[in-house]
Amino acid sequence: MIDPTYHAPVAQLVRVTDSSELDLEVQIVYDKTVYNLYVKYMTKSEVRMLNGYRLIYRPDYPGAMINSNWQGYVYEHIYVAEGFLGRPLRENEVVHHLDLDRSNNRSENLLVLEKPQHGKLHAFG
């Protein structure tokens, strides 16, 4: 049954910029409270593949690669996991893909494990 007192949030597009990347700024008004969301969409040129893993171009990110072929690129699964954790991975941590699909980097598909735990997981799998 639909609640007649429910009022769906109203979204208003505030700004779209179009350069080498697409940025969206969205304002959502719900219950007289204003929420501002900023979304940056990567263009295809910012995504590369390496051994089945997605890499994204983030040259200012602390964990970005420094070698000439991959300078400025970051493994997307690490970038997503660190964003979710709110901190960089520790030296003894790795990111595991639960469905074993290296390109599926949704946060619900990623599990941060200590290296020995990760090794045991693959030994039994």
Segment 5-64, tens digit of pLDDT: 555 545 444 444 444 445 555 555 555 666 665 555 555 458 899 999 999 999 889 999
DSSP bridge partners of 23: 17, 40
Question: Distance (Å, rounded) from C-alpha 88 to C-alpha 75?
Answer: 13
Provide the pLDDT for residue 123.
85
pLDDT single digits (tens) 90-108:
999 999 999 999 999 999 9
3-state SS class at 99: coil
Provide the pLDDT for residue 121.
84
Contact between 71 and 65 (Cβ < 8 Å)? yes
pLDDT single digits (tens) 52-100:
999 999 988 999 999 888 999 999 999 999 998 999 999 999 999 999 9
Provide the pLDDT for residue 18.
45
Provide the pLDDT for residue 114.
93
H-only helix segments in the chain? 76-85, 115-124
* 94's tokens: 């790795």
